Amino acid sequence: MIVPELPSDIRDLKAAVGRFIETEVYPHEQRIAERGSIDAAEVDELRRRAREAGFSMLNMPAEHGGRELSMLGQVALEEESGKATNGLGFAVVDRGPRELLEIATPEQAERWIAPIIRGEYREAWAVTEPGAGSDVAGIRATATRDGDDWLIDGEKWFVTSEGDPGFYIVLALAGGEQTLFLVEPNAPGLEIVRTPGFLHDPYLDHHPEIVFRGCRVPDANRIPEGGGEGAKEWFTVERLFIAARCCGAAERLLDLASAYAQEREAFGSKIADYQGVSFPLADSLTELLAARLLTYHAAHAFDELANRKIVHGKVAMAKLYASEMAGRAADRALQILGGRGYMTESPAARFYRELRVDRIWEGTSEIQRLIIANGLFKRGAAPYLGWE
């Protein structure tokens, strides 16, 4: 099956998340636009209501309080979360660290992951460095054994964090091997240098810069194996989710611009009657469908294919196309909405700023093209076009 159909239970869950986003989240967006900042207490309440509605930790195994939702199901929900601005969708479709759970020891799962599932705190991934962004293989942070501990030295940028995390998942070289360490925020030798502002602010996530200077971490906090592969799997999942959220954002933008075009009059006619307005909307709808089908296809491949290199390539295609599609959709919508779309109170203005980073983080568009091209040269086109 090249493009899977969503099962009825997933369609129902997707619709429920969509209604929650529209009724509970959109009003938050307006308040944020008015005051220029996010109220942490309001977000906590939003997350609590989403948990009560059953939208949290659905990706986790049943024995860990989840529903073990397929990747296709998760992508369908992420698509709805992408319709929210300011990153508020993250508080609604709140997934657990499944990739970490699969490589952590049972003791680590109980100590670090169980509190996340209970909603006590969030984790933060610290992978990117000043000299290693999309090139994860180029990281230089090191971990040196010191008795029963490890000493971590290095610098991490663009750490993915919301508020005060319960711990950092740090990728470092231990004996030359990429290894993951679970590091408490108050660990000696860990310093948050600064938290820079970004074009998409105010946003739920923030991305501090952290320095580790002989940061002492017990050996019990070291993921015993699979650190490099675990980080790669996390990137693959995040790229899929970016593609899904871009589809959701583009759909909301398309609806906003289409509704406005059918109401707004200029020169004696609705502006929707002018091809200069209707044709860009037709392009956005066509590209959105293509992006959605590609994203669903990649998600189904994630669930079904054993060859992770093929999956990696399909996900790269989805992330590349959907993120660039959403950027075009935002530009077209803003142009059609005109001055109204340019006001900060408009979702179109917020999306215009927020969607730009989707072509950068978790692997730039150029890196996605490199992954796709390398896969083509090594394996040919056929494996990426079907299920072979």
Q: Which residues, at least 6 apart from 307, have a Cβ–Cβ distance to it below 8 Å?
A: 383
* Catalytic choice (238, 287, 362, 388): 362
> ∠83-87-89 over CA atoms, to 5°?
50
Report the half-sphere exposure of 69 (CA within 13 A, side-chain side).
28
Q: Helix or strand or coil: residue 164?
A: coil
Determine the Cα–Cα distance for residues 102 and 203; give it in Å rounded to an integer. 29
Note the residue count of the chain: 388
Q: Exposed, middle or buried: residue 9 (CB in 10 Å: 0-12, 13-18, 19+)?
A: exposed
Could you tell me how far CA 26 lies from the centroid of its own chain? 19
Q: CA–CA distance from 126 to each of 123, 181, 231 (Å)? A: 10, 10, 10
Find, among 265, 247, 270, the residue nearest to 76 by Cα: 247
Is 99 a known active-site residue?
no
User: Exposure pattern of 304-330 as b/e (b: 16+ CB <10 Å)?
Assistant: ebeeeebbbbbbbbbbbbbbbbbbbbb
For residue 148, which phi and psi values (nearest 5 degrees)? -90, 5
Neighbouring CB atoms inside 10 A of 161's CB total 21
Provide the token pair at 38.
């996010």
Report how far residue 388's alpha carbon sits from residue 383's, in angstroms, rounded to the nearest whole number: 5
The CA-based dihedral angle spanning residues 90, 96, 99, 100, taken in that order and rounded to the nearest 10 degrees: 120
The runs of H, that is alpha helices, within the chain are 8-20, 26-35, 40-53, 71-81, 89-92, 98-101, 106-108, 114-117, 227-263, 275-304, 308-337, 339-342, 347-354, 365-379, 382-385
CA distance readout (Å), 200 to 130, 252, 321, 351, 362: 21, 18, 21, 8, 16
d(CA 149, CA 177): 17
Could you list the active site residues? 362
